[in-house]
Structure 1
């Protein structure tokens, strides 16, 4: 069975994470997506919500969605003092689960285009497939010849490749565009704007109970 990981800060988790992931699961026949919150993201500002709060929001968001499970391997005490590098997480997954099980890592189109800034990015496909969800306002092509050649070399349009091989393919999914960002949500909440249509209701309620992102100004 093809396992998929979806990493992020989830500060907070919102429908821009969940809806494309559900669509992707239907498209490529995923039975489970493991949400992988990182403790110290290498390419983003540090989360405003603390680890306990982000985990609580994730648990609330997925408690009625059996497709999703929570994976805390990047925020264990052993890894909490340094950035969470995806390639190291994938290596650890392989050490635990072996080299023959199909594994995929889900990322947005924006992350794909920014891969050259990732730690050991060219080795990612040694451990997994990449499943790419479309992002609004992002091009399907990159200005980096090196990255584009890498994508072209490994791209597949055949879902069977993802299930029949443990790693090595890039699949550009046809997920709907969701123009939602956690940054915008935090800013809007801080400015007393209603964002309840962008988040699961239980997450929206938790944000207010905890006074996150300026809700108790």
Structure 2
């Protein structure tokens, strides 16, 4: 690992996502990051109105929040934040604003780690205030084994070489589960058992989501 910790501070992972729905791969990723980086906690942040939102309609914020709560409630190291979904609907939610919020929330007494995918991290130079973001937050980019790390160096290192010191890559055995897969299976009337936590599966059935 290249990221250095500041002793005496909490180590907090922030895992953002649409979570529509949250599934087992999200949970496996968060737990493995927590273990490998010795984090004190991981905070899941269901997205509000991100600037790069997919064209499709995203499920209601409360559904996504409650499913994330149900999926994480049994892990004492996991919690869920409403920081993004409680912002006004018309207000775009940027990662920099969320990270600033957590710095204020922890009163500067926490090392903040933003957990994202390795492919997403390649777009970081297009993110709002990315230089400030890289200076106040470390990034853990999760990928499957065999990912070509040279892409990271070529894309980010060329434009912002100092950023590489604040980005770490963690390989996690591939889990071929995605929210898109789950939505498609539900729409087709196929079972999703073991793809999402049982409580999330029952919530989807009860509320008729993705039909």
TM-score w.r.t. the length of structure 1 is: 0.82
> Where do 1:202-217 residues align within 5 Å?
202-214=199-211
Do the aligned residues in 1 keep the contact of 2:144 with 2:172 (CA within 8 Å)? Answer: no
Do the aligned residues in 1 keep the contact of 2:124 with 2:130 (CA within 8 Å)? Answer: yes
Do the aligned residues in 1 keep the contact of 2:157 with 2:164 (CA within 8 Å)? Answer: no
Do the aligned residues in 2 keep the contact of 1:87 with 1:121 (CA within 8 Å)? Answer: yes
Out of 65, 90, 98, the position equivalent to 1:55 is 65
The CA deviation at 1:119 is 2.0
The CA deviation at 1:27 is 0.7
1:11 maps to 2:20: yes
Q: Which residue of 2 aligns with 1:68?
A: 78
Classify the secondary structure of the residue corresponding to 1:213: coil
Q: CA RMSD in A?
A: 2.3
Quick check: 47-56 or 203-212, which moved more? 47-56
The ranges of structure 1 where at least 4 consecutive aligned residues each deviate by more than 6 angstroms after the TM superposition are: none
Determine the C-alpha separation between the residues in 1 that align with 2:192 and 2:146: 21
1:80 maps to 2:83: no
1:197 maps to 2:194: yes
> Could you list the runs of 5+ residues in structure 1 that have no partner in the other structure?
157-168
* Larger strand share, 1 or 2: 2
The CA deviation at 1:135 is 4.3
> Could you list the runs of 5+ residues in structure 2 that have no partner in the other structure?
1-9
The CA deviation at 1:32 is 0.6
Do the aligned residues in 2 keep the contact of 1:5 with 1:106 (CA within 8 Å)? Answer: yes
Determine the C-alpha separation between the residues in 2 that align with 1:182 and 1:103: 26
Do the aligned residues in 2 keep the contact of 1:20 with 1:178 (CA within 8 Å)? Answer: no
Q: Which residue of 2 aligns with 1:130?
A: 139
Classify the secondary structure of the residue corresponding to 1:61: helix
Change (3 A) 1:35 1:151: farther
Q: Which residue of 2 aligns with 1:188?
A: 185
Classify the secondary structure of the residue corresponding to 2:115: strand
* Larger helix share, 1 or 2: 1
Classify the secondary structure of the residue corresponding to 1:102: strand
Change (3 A) 1:60 1:96: closer
Do the aligned residues in 1 keep the contact of 2:140 with 2:169 (CA within 8 Å)? Answer: yes
Do the aligned residues in 2 keep the contact of 1:48 with 1:213 (CA within 8 Å)? Answer: no
Change (3 A) 1:74 1:201: same
> Where do 1:135-150 residues align within 5 Å?
135=144, 139-142=148-151, 145-149=154-158
Q: Which residue of 2 aligns with 1:173?
A: 170
